[in-house]
Amino acid sequence: MRTETPAETLPQGRVSKIIQVHPSLKCNLFCKHCYSSSAPQYKEGLSVKSILRILEEGAGMGYNVVSLSGGEPFLYRPLEELVQASKALGYFNSITTNGMLLRSASAQRVFRHVNLVAISIDGREQQHDEMRSMPGAYQKMMEGVDIVKAHVPNFGFIHTVQPDSWQLFPWLAGLAVDKGAALLHLHPLELAGRASTSFGNMIFGEEALLKTYITHYYLKTYYEPQLFIQLDLLHRDHIRDNPAFCFHADALSACDLGDFSCLFRELIIDEHGDLLPIAHGCSKRFRIGNIEEDLPLVEMFNRFAQQRLGELMQVYQQTYDEILNNTEHEIFNWAELVLKNTFRYEQELACAG
């Protein structure tokens, strides 16, 4: 899942510029909706030394949030070393977890260096256990919530949204408030990895998108500032002429092309160590580099700017134009559309060649 930390959890005036790290695909669960096909059989993880090299260089470029996902981050053996070092570099540390492996002393040492923990939840007990393919997963997750509350300044829930999930939003928001959560993050299902097999025919129709957006907006208005509710869907009017999303000429003139934390406020380190813009799952044509490359991060960025930035701007512009010209829909998953168009662009080049 694409995980963002809201700016409200950072010191006032600090804009979130996120390095999202997927250090391993190892997980204690086999979830049906997993976008990365994480599972128990995976053993190897990324080199913590190589990750920290990128974080150190990224901090000098303006990145200020580390968002750890997976796999299950608490199965990554050097996790304590990673969060301790990233905190020392000045990063706001966020971890997304299934909440089931938090009783150990090592997990509680990790909490000392973490600012926000987001615990994934799929619904009420039966629905959650079924999605996780494990009876008892919900109860263990709830035990994890109590542990997190005792050790971390802020915690929240993250929910994978399906077309009928809007009916569950009031219950989720109420649970979050009852448990003292600061965040409820609603992220639409990504048809990638295992989810593409489990839910390959699932489609968000316009009615479902509108119900999702309106229900979220009502709850957001009702509960803030007690609970911050984030939905990773946008109305067309929010996208129109917004340089943070469309990257047309106004956006490029507003940012120094050498400032990649301005152009790309989210940098992804995937499970292979590849550095990607936009979100996990982007076409590897737009790979910025790899954490094991013997090349400074700024030089990887400069190479990307010379070889691929112009192409990516075309992808952004194409996505922006498609949204504005779409008369059937008002609500869009911007990141998902951009990711699809990175692959479409790559396929069009292959056909033309």
CATH code (residue 38): 3.20.20.70
Do 218 and 302 lie in one domain? The reply is no
Q: 328 pLDDT exceeds 60?
A: yes
Do 65 and 101 lie in one domain? The reply is yes
User: Which band of pLDDT confidence, cut at 50, 70 and 90, is reported for residue 311?
Assistant: very high
Number of domains present in the structure of the chain: 2
Do 196 and 278 lie in one domain? The reply is no
Q: 315 pLDDT exceeds 70?
A: yes
Q: 101 pLDDT exceeds 50?
A: yes
pLDDT at 12: 45
Backbone angles phi, psi at 139, to 5 degrees: -65, -40
The last residue of one of the domains, among 199, 232, 265, is 232
Q: 1 pLDDT exceeds 70?
A: no
The last residue of one of the domains, among 209, 232, 255, is 232
> What are the Cα distances from residue 339, in Å, to 2, 15, 251, 297?
12, 24, 19, 23
Average of per-residue pLDDT values in the chain = 88
Is residue 206 assigned to a domain?
yes
* pLDDT tens profile 232-289: 999 998 888 775 655 544 445 545 555 778 888 899 999 999 999 988 889 999 999 9
User: Which band of pLDDT confidence, cut at 50, 70 and 90, is reported for residue 144?
Assistant: very high
pLDDT at 254: 46
Beta strands in the chain (DSSP E): 18-21, 65-68, 92-97, 116-120, 154-161, 183-188, 228-231, 234-235, 266-269, 274-277, 289-290, 331-332
Q: 218 pLDDT exceeds 50?
A: yes
Do 158 and 217 lie in one domain? The reply is yes
Is cis: bond before 71, omega within 30 of 0? Answer: yes
Do 39 and 76 lie in one domain? The reply is yes
Percent with pLDDT over 70 in the chain = 91
Is residue 5 assigned to a domain?
no
